[in-house]
Structure 1
């Protein structure tokens, strides 16, 4: 199963409506996107701490209000055809996922651990208000605290821990946090580790894997979802 990374990051500006449209155009079931708070405590879809790389603006997302973020061009940095693409709120992203039939792996993007609980609380309120089915979501984060807050505020929604290095107590941690899935940097995965993860009853997701020739190997190892910037490239490797 192929999932788009930040929507479909090789095909459209990341974390945007255009990215979701590209994912839908290629008949994906899953997309991964990032959410964090802006200055007025509204969850918005953005990866970086600052808007500098992916918009025509400057400054930290957390220090700009929604009106300021909505005024930014979040598309022309990627390609002129995406000029005036706008930053999405989480509510807008959830609506789009429902419209296009996409399931969302929502990364809780924690840039300041002190704000993890507030972020998760606002995400929980948005999801509850939106009415999206829990079955259409996985909540994930690098932040163990954020995943624990997700369990507290949204126990009905599946949770995954993102790892760019392996904790020594990985499986104890997974059990104590009641994880549904582990989301690993694909370079960490071996056949043995994959086998242990599957035997522990966990879903196995890997990121960000853009090499078609490796797809058969990862599927043989039991990987459930491959998160990639270029979904059609990997879909060709399956077909």
Structure 2
């Protein structure tokens, strides 16, 4: 048994506006199938998408805290000119430069209209076929331990594990990477960005949740009440949800 990541969940005061931003940023479309705004490839809503991780922008009443998110997106580019053009276009859409202590680096750090940090990377061969989202990046203290947990939790393949970083990608070699980067500091507030996981048809969601707990996940009460998904945290406290099969 294993779960599949199906989307990146972003909390927002104005889910429609943030959803439109990300749709334009990625060259995708924004769909409103319910009370959230889902961002996925154009051509009609397909969920779960077999290749990409969509973005589900969920309305919440609280603004983002001043603390940097411990989970963020990296966007891929194909050339220096593409990187410069993308940064300019994103700023025109409402992104703002962000200083997270990155110093002099070849990538550009921005924040979306509600302050969620993300990076526009310089061209890298490893991301040449990921699509617009190169990676979902998780700040952590112990990449090896995170790789052990997430390598058992989801059906993605482990690509790299060192003391400073670890990465996984779908077994089919498509879509973005999930990366764990050793980063100073500790998690102090709930993230505005997290992963949503889904069982495969025929699998038992409750059994999957129990399996995650045995791996080191912890239950999480955010006041969500009686909902058809389960909120958990990984061993370093990053929130994620196990969704119900529709």
* TM-score using structure 2 length: 0.34
The structure with more helix, counted as a fraction of residues: 1
